[in-house]
Amino acid sequence: MPSKQIVGLWMQRLRKLLTQTTAARHSQPRQHPLVYQWTESAGRSTLPRGRVRPTRPLPQPTILGLAPIPFDFTWHMRRLCEDIIRRTPDLSHIDLSRVLLSITRARTRRAYGLQAKVTPMRFKHGKLTQKRRGWMYQVQQYYVGNVEMLYLMSFCLPRFLDLPFEEKMITIVHELFHIAPEFNGDLRRHTGRYYQHSHSKKKYDQHMHTYVEAYWKTNADRSLSDFLQHSFEQLHERHGSVQGIIVPVPKLVPLLG
């Protein structure tokens, strides 16, 4: 058999093998746990926690020879978000007990990039399942105790903490405002193509700035936001470490049954 025919035959077999491999990959989606459940009682929690390390060595603080207390970012952020929601009528639909606050590590120290994100735990209009490419999918469900979380609100560190103070406040309100008024696990949907930020993210953030100004006019307790006056490195130098709740990003799970 001529060498060109042999090469052609091998190429046909290789293409067939690649086609079969690709088909098998799409026909058998990778399976992930459908439910994550953590316990929380009497001040104890099994929620996974982690710390964010600085990109350069920093001196360890000492207070009268005692070890410093790590800074719990998610605990402080939850207290601030609770106060913002309580003082902002347009956010009164949010039940923060069903919003899981977490941190995620920034891959780079670049100033531009993801600062924070609200991840919905439901599909459009709060639906639990959705059909995609012939498969029925469900978003992973997160439970803390017996309470199901409808949203995951994540802050990207150190990047978020390195923003100016006012931009940090705008970012927090920005993310809270993404939560649907129906509080059904879906995002707030604006009309038009750009349903998350309407037609202009810049104008959207300007609108969020008015909410922040209104919040300060309610004589809000400034001590709740004091930690935002500091950068990541400043908090790390004061407390020895910055830590918080770190959970996996929710995935779409195929319902193979």
DSSP calls for 67-107: PPPPEEHHHHHHHHHHHHHHH-GGGTT--GGGEEEEEEE-S
The confidence score (pLDDT) of residue 93 equals 97
The confidence score (pLDDT) of residue 48 equals 95
The amino acid sitting at 49 is: R
The confidence score (pLDDT) of residue 106 equals 86
The confidence score (pLDDT) of residue 198 equals 53
Residue 98 lies in a domain: yes
The confidence score (pLDDT) of residue 135 equals 86
Residue 20 lies in a domain: no
Residue 24 lies in a domain: no
Residue 162 lies in a domain: yes
Answering whether pTM is above 0.75, one says yes
Residue 123 lies in a domain: yes
Q: How many domains does the chain have?
A: 1
Task: Give the domain extent around 241.
Answer: 31-254
The confidence score (pLDDT) of residue 90 equals 96
Residue 149 lies in a domain: yes
Q: Mean pLDDT, consecutive 10-residue segments, the chain of 257 residues?
A: 60 66 52 87 85 81 67 97 98 97 86 90 92 88 95 96 96 96 90 52 85 97 97 91 95 82
